[in-house]
Structure 1
Amino acid sequence: MRSLLKKIFLIYPFIYPIIFAAPAQNYQISLLTCDPGDELYSAFGHSAIRVWEKDSNQDLVFNYGTFDFNTPYFYVKFTQRTLDYMLSISTYERFLYEYNYFQRNVREQVLDLNPEQARQLVQFLQVNYQPENRFYRYDFFYDNCATRIRDAFEAVLGKQLDWNENPEPEKKTFRNLIDEYVYPLPWADFGIDLALGAVIDVDAKEREKQFLPDYMEEAFARAKVVGDGPTRPLVKSSHVVLQFDERQFNMGLFNPYLVWWTLAIGAILLTYFGHKKGRLFKGFDIAFFTALGLLGLLIVLLWFFTFHSQTKYNWNILWAFPGHLFLAFGLLKGTTKPWLKNYCLAALVLANLSLVFWIFGIQSFHPSIVPLLLIVILRTNFLYYNWGKFQVAKRINV
């Protein structure tokens, strides 16, 4: 039941049929910022615009973060970044009901806009809500539910909006910013670092940080309205709408760090006994390098066959390489051809090269891959020096 409600509330858009039909002008405009939820799609929080028309008491929330789960080939489009998000509208009451149900904090910043600025913003949103305009191609970093709101205010206020940025901001890469939110979801954290390439290991500008709702909330708190009488803060007042107890984070035993280090210790013991007994235990290598090869294919797919700009130049491919499938196949067939030995050497070099890329800051990898790199280096080194020798010894004994 809870899963069904998540789909209803957080995925399907609510369409409000009539928007401010009366020519009223007494608007109160607010930015709503919602804390992260427990699922990956809600892990970064959410932003929306509240428009309260006081005379008619019509109280609506404009939400750029919705999409239709019934879209044909939904998961294919989501993976390829060809899924369109949309601007939807719900009542303020329904919006709060959703976040109250999932116990996610909501804060409101009431904005100090003059009547004309408020009217222009509402008109901007009305135009955006037209069927031909409400859909947009979602981009997590550059075109999402938060940046759409930022862009709306920049379009309406123009030069009157001064973000009043900190002249010496704390430097954070896009990956650093993501890591602040996904640490409670260790496997999602691992998957994100596996899927996203070196292009996100650059410092984000203050304006670019606003792709995250919390950072946009901070930006609105600093911003000023200029050229419209005396300079004034953009935010007139702030208050907490919904407040719940802080969530307790417990990583649990099943996490990538413990799993991969357990696997690495097993590989070390396997290699030790293999050396002592003159055996390869190649079943482990077949399974391990098959898994890495499949991961490599996924990286290639995301790099070259999707429209995600953030999955380009992903140097995880140096250790999770599609060619490992050929190594697994060669081990399965038991071939002693020179290419197998040469490939082991190449895989060993590539794994060490990934460490070089990491150390010199070309790309930041997830820390839990250290034991995986250790296994690649250990097993390819072991196979390089022992594969042919053990195979020959086995044939002589027979």
Structure 2
Amino acid sequence: MTLASRLLLTFALILCSACITARADVGDAPGANLEVSLITYGPGEIYWERFGHDAIELRDTVSGEEVDFNYGVFSFEEKNFFLNFARGRMHYLIDAEPTTDEENFYKEAGRSVTRQRINLTPAQAAALRDFLFWNLRPENAGYNYDYYIDNCTTRVRDALDRALGGIIKTRLTSLPGSMTYRQQTVRLMSAQPWLMLILDLGLGPYADHPLNAWQESFLPEELQKSLRNVTIADGRGGTQPLVQSEDLLSPNRLSVPPAAAPDLRIPLGIAGLLIAGILLLAWRRATLIYAVLGNLFLLLAGLAGVLMLLLWTLTEHHSAWANANLLLFNPLAFIWLRPLWRARRGMQLSPYANGALVLQLVALLIALLLHLLPGTVQQNQPWILFALPCWLALAWTLRHNRHT
């Protein structure tokens, strides 16, 4: 082979290699060509969007390909979806989409989009990429979703922490959280007051334990803030921020959740006093209104109690287990539906109904003592303030009828 032929062959090989490199994508790019970012999407308007969302973005700096990996995919078409949802057995999936398509969806919805460049070594970036692609395999893609400890954000957090050898968890577990699960839930759901109240009523003591920053990073917004406090070795004996840069790609155009959870004690306390006052006034002046309003309260209290019992005994919603609100609202309420209706005519309580009423008053006393004693975990003061005057008003009117 002549020198000219060799030079021509060498040039062709170099050109071919350059073309292959230019066509390389995120899946086979070397770690030195990968940029890793955390993409955080602000809360949306629909109730299941109120917690926000996030994804890991991988970008090949040579080909320019950008892919978002997110763990928030579910399908209403799944067999027994609503039954599984009720039982606390929700199945979610990881998915990968081109960054442009993913981000445009959130921008058009008016939700904020923020990119945080994560400072990873080439080896760490490649390891993260390999893990995400392994996770995309059909046999690995699904997981059992939990709102607080295993959701689309904790999966993103754990994947980043895994690539960094546990640095994120070590740092964040040493920092206190700002709120409890209950406070964060009430804060974010305050735009839908009816749903906020249902969730607050249904949460048990699990939701009131103090959190550290690692646990509180179940929320995209909290993970975004927490990563700003993480530092890593710079390779020269010092440290550097984990977050290289942070850019707001699209501003929020929706209503912003409040910075703190609303205090439900005053509104629920006033509502309880108002219902109790109407019951007492109607008992004297409009017995039909008294019976209708009283039975409505008893019906809702009984249904709430049944639901809380089912959540505790038949589901995997552990955040709803051992709910002290069962002392305030429980199936015993159904016992007085007929006696209360008859009480509008001054008819006596049966010994059975009277005994059940005494039992309910004892349950109210226990609920109050549990809250006043030191070491109490569940923060259900708003519901105590609501239920106490209602039950006392009903008990007084029913007991009065018994002695007439």
Report the CA distance between 1:229 and its aligned residue. 4.8
Could you tell me how far apart the structure 1 residues matched to 2:100 and 2:381 are? Answer: 41
CA deviation profile, 1:270-315 (whole Å, cap 9, x unmatched):
3235247899943432232122101100000111110111111111
Q: Give the one of 246, 256, 279 matched to 1:238.
A: 246
Give the 3 Å change call, closer, same or farther, for CA 225–278 of structure 1 in structure 2.
closer
Which residue does the alignment assign to 2:206? 199
Whether the 8 Å CA contact 1:351–1:377 is kept in 2: the answer is no
CA deviation profile, 1:361-386 (whole Å, cap 9, x unmatched):
43112736633432122112321x22
Q: CA RMSD in A?
A: 3.0
- Whichever residue aligns with residue 148 of structure 1, its letter is R
Of the structure 1 ranges 71-80 and 114-123, higher mean CA displacement relative to structure 2 is found in 71-80
Q: Secondary structure at the match of 1:50?
A: strand
Q: Secondary structure at the match of 1:211?
A: coil
CA deviation profile, 1:318-376 (whole Å, cap 9, x unmatched):
11111111222444577742111121122122234323333444311273663343212
Report the CA distance between 1:23 and its aligned residue. 4.4
Q: Give the one of 105, 122, 128 matched to 2:112.
A: 105
Could you tell me how far apart the structure 1 residues matched to 2:177 and 2:70 are? Answer: 30
Q: Which runs of 5+ in 1 are unaligned?
A: 1-17, 391-398
Give the 3 Å change call, closer, same or farther, for CA 366–37 of structure 1 in structure 2.
farther
Which residue does the alignment assign to 2:401? 387
Report the CA distance between 1:66 and its aligned residue. 1.4
Whether the 8 Å CA contact 1:187–1:256 is kept in 2: the answer is no
2:350 equivalent to 1:343: no
TM-score (norm 1): 0.83
Report the CA distance between 1:171 and its aligned residue. 5.3
2:298 equivalent to 1:289: yes
Could you tell me how far apart the structure 2 residues matched to 1:342 and 1:158 are? Answer: 61
Q: Secondary structure at the match of 2:228?
A: helix
- Of structures 1 and 2, the larger Rg is shown by 2
Give the 3 Å change call, closer, same or farther, for CA 241–269 of structure 1 in structure 2.
same
The equivalences for 1:250-329 within 5 A come to: 261=270, 264-275=273-284, 281-329=290-338
- Whichever residue aligns with residue 112 of structure 2, its letter is N
Q: Secondary structure at the match of 1:71?
A: coil
Of the structure 1 ranges 117-126 and 202-211, higher mean CA displacement relative to structure 2 is found in 202-211
Give the 3 Å change call, closer, same or farther, for CA 159–45 of structure 1 in structure 2.
closer
Whether the 8 Å CA contact 1:162–1:224 is kept in 2: the answer is no
- Whichever residue aligns with residue 202 of structure 1, its letter is H
Report the CA distance between 1:179 and its aligned residue. 3.0
Q: Which runs of 5+ in 2 are unaligned?
A: 1-23, 259-263
2:179 equivalent to 1:172: yes
Q: Give the one of 62, 71, 75 matched to 1:64.
A: 71
Whether the 8 Å CA contact 2:177–2:213 is kept in 1: the answer is no
Report the CA distance between 1:39 and its aligned residue. 2.1
Q: Secondary structure at the match of 1:155?
A: helix
2:84 equivalent to 1:82: no
- Whichever residue aligns with residue 380 of structure 2, its letter is F
Which residue does the alignment assign to 1:186? 193
Give the 3 Å change call, closer, same or farther, for CA 256–249 of structure 1 in structure 2.
farther
Which residue does the alignment assign to 2:390? 375
Which residue does the alignment assign to 1:395? none
CA deviation profile, 1:129-187 (whole Å, cap 9, x unmatched):
11011100011111111111121122222155575449663653222232332223222
Give the count of matched residue pairs: 368
Q: Secondary structure at the match of 1:363?
A: coil
Of the structure 1 ranges 236-245 and 182-191, higher mean CA displacement relative to structure 2 is found in 182-191
Q: Secondary structure at the match of 2:140?
A: coil
Whether the 8 Å CA contact 1:107–1:239 is kept in 2: the answer is yes
Paired-residue identity, %: 25
